[in-house]
Amino acid sequence: MEGFLRLKGARDLTRRELAVLREVANWRDTVAAQLDRATFRVMGNEVLLDLARRQPRSVSELGAIKGMPKGMLERAGHDIVAAIRRGMEAPEAELPKFPRGQRWNKDRDFDDRVGRLKAVRDAAATRLELDPGVLCSRERLENVARSGAKTINDLASVPDLRRWQIEEMGDGFLRALSAPS
């Protein structure tokens, strides 16, 4: 999946707005490489998302965007406006979209397994003082529920499940999966 699609908030954008986001993110990546700087030091993700949503058409409109770095506005305002225009003018057929998630047939026990995994996740979230959705999303819980994992090694092959998540919740997940429905 392309990097700009991973930005928090990108899923809420229209395909046209995603095209603008793609262009301004590519511009930012290029500038960051030229300046040998981290991308967020060139321009924050929130500013990119705001550009995608509001699509300013001039350097003066760019200046109204909250968090827009003044130096970048003066140095590269026209380049940013050009990137936005490229996104606005991208042909319909080339508009980005999120890859479809894998479709699985839910079995009768699926929701029960997800419910048991959710209880493990929620208890770990309380223990770690984290938001449950940040600790492990519903999509990842569903991946675990589908996996049929019997061992910690099996959990390591679940899509998008990270090693630290397995360390924090793996044993509980395995108990939840092996519990009778």
What is the model's pLDDT at position 170? 95
Which portions of the chain are predicted below pLDDT 50? none
Q: Quote the tokens at residue 147.
A: 């996996």
Which DSSP string corresponds to 116-152?
Answer: HHHHHHHHHHHHHT--HHHHS-HHHHHHHHHHT--SH
User: Residue 105: its pLDDT value, please?
Assistant: 55
Q: Where are the domains of the chain?
A: 3-94, 110-178
**110-178: same fold as 3-94?**
yes
CATH assignment of 3-94? 1.10.150.80
| 39-81 residue pLDDT tens | 888 999 999 999 999 999 999 999 999 999 888 899 999 999 9
Res 32: pLDDT: 92
pLDDT attached to residue 107 = 63
Q: What is the percent of the chain with per-residue pLDDT over 70, rounded to a whole number?
A: 94
Per-residue model confidence (pLDDT) at position 81 = 97
- What CATH number does the domain located at 110-178 have? 1.10.150
